[in-house]
Copies of this chain bind each other. A is one copy, B any other.
């Protein structure tokens, strides 16, 4: 049984062999690794060493590696293999893997590589589907059986076809026009009499998606119905490919990362390995937006500069109230974004809204009373304490409304509900906090001076 993950020792051994230029021994060492582990090893090496190792590995092994390279490391990996060596390697992989790799190349490189592939036409066909569509991630490696053949013929066909086991967990049944009719199980094939027609044992409750369907929807179909693969059909219902759990799991993971990133104004393309210059460029736009949204708070504060001049102690409490309502609003927004992403089932917006406002107000009161007591202990000013309680409760209640309205508003505008939601929420909660705190204080300023 294999050990999971890449042992430290292995990497050390590999580096030693490289230092001693013992390439033949290195190739022997790594050939027994699982491709997923070998990918890790290769990416842990220096650029020049990667190249030397990959050049010495048989093309079919390098091909296998491509199936286990993560999306955000794919470009780097292609560079290590070398674009000129790609055609030989890609001839060894499934069409959908080849299409993913070619998608990463420059247009001229794409054409050139495709021209050199044995199955260039089939790969080019896959490239026409949108990168984020079910067509773009589907595999052509599926088993389809015509409904008019018999069980005996089907078994004979499978014997000749020798599908890899991971392709044969769903056997799809199609009609003579290649339209998807349903599935048969291996079990049903084994237990039925050889002359039974497939049409008689076909299970018709199959959940398919279109080639143009968003890959996230395909992933949700898989998850919802506890499937291991979702078939992909064209406009006429003809079976074009299959999206499998291993690819769709990655889609769901990317989606979750995307939501987390977008909420705080990060681009989903970014990872710890993105080049610095690109990272700066990716982050700057939302920081600019944040600067301008922050002026909303600054503007409110500037309205009350005479109040602040008379009671500068308020300045110290500004960040306390703003922080609290900011957290409250972000919590609500996070729940909202995640609910929308996971497609939570029954939601009455009004009920949720009232619920959150009540929760925000109650917690704001509790925390506000505590804050008021602390403020009274330090300043001895009861009016200040009362204002803090009121501002905190009001700001927290409003924060929950904001936390819901921002994602819902973004969605209504056709944007991703997560998009910089935390930046927009904080803008509103800051401004509201300062308004409640300083506005409240200005009304009773004579008691605060």
Contacts and interface: CB of A to CB of B under 8 A. Distances in A.
Interface of A: 1-2, 4-5, 34, 36, 40, 43-44, 67-68, 73, 155, 158-159, 162-166, 168-170, 180, 183, 185-188, 190-191, 204-209, 217, 221-228, 233, 237, 244-246, 248-250, 252-253, 256-257, 259-261, 263-266, 270-273, 276, 279-280, 283-284, 286-288, 290-291, 293-295, 297-299, 301-302, 305, 308-309, 312-313, 315-320, 322-324, 326-328, 330-331, 334-335, 337-339, 342, 344-347, 352, 355, 358-359, 362-363, 366-367, 370-371, 374, 422-423, 426, 430, 434
Given A36-B226, A68-B224, A273-B344, 6 more contacts: A4-B224, A223-B250, A264-B330, A290-B323, A297-B319, A315-B315
A249 B230 CA distance: 15
Given A208-B1, A228-B246, A265-B327, A288 B168 contact: no
Given A165-B169, A355-B276, A426 B323 contact: yes
A49 to B, nearest CB: 13
Contact of A226 (B67, B185, B265, B299): B67
A248 to B, nearest CB: 8
A137 to B, nearest CB: 13
B180 A168 contact: no
A190 B159 CA distance: 6
Contact of A190 (B155, B206, B283): B155
B223 A246 contact: yes
A68 B207 CA distance: 15
Contacts of A362: 280
A288 B288 CA distance: 31
Contacts of A286: 327
B276 A359 contact: yes
21 contacts: A1-B233, A4-B207, A4-B209, A155-B190, A164-B187, A228-B228, A245-B246, A245-B249, A249-B252, A256-B256, A259-B260, A264-B331, A266-B331, A271-B339, A276-B355, A276-B359, A287-B363, A298-B317, A301-B316, A305-B315, A308-B312
> Which 10 pairs show the lowest CB-CB distances between chains A and B?
A165-B185, A256-B256, A169-B169, A226-B246, A297-B319, A294-B323, A301-B316, A245-B245, A294-B320, A298-B316
Contact of A308 (B223, B276, B315): B315
B36 A271 contact: no
Contacts of A434: 319
A257 to B, nearest CB: 5
A73 B188 CA distance: 34
Given A252-B252, A284-B363, A322 B324 contact: no
Contact of A34 (B205, B222, B327): B205
A391 to B, nearest CB: 13
Contacts of A226: 36, 67-68, 246
A225 to B, nearest CB: 5
B291 A367 contact: yes
A207 B334 contact: no
A248 B257 CA distance: 17
A324 B295 CA distance: 11
A239 to B, nearest CB: 11
A155 B190 CA distance: 9
Contact of A318 (B1, B259, B295, B319): B319
A181 to B, nearest CB: 8
B283 A298 contact: no
A18 to B, nearest CB: 16
A183 B166 CA distance: 12
Nearest to A204: B1
Contacts of A366: 284, 287
A213 to B, nearest CB: 9
Contact of A206 (B1, B185, B319, B339): B1
Contacts of A222: 249
Contacts of A44: 345-346
Contacts of A283: 331, 359, 363
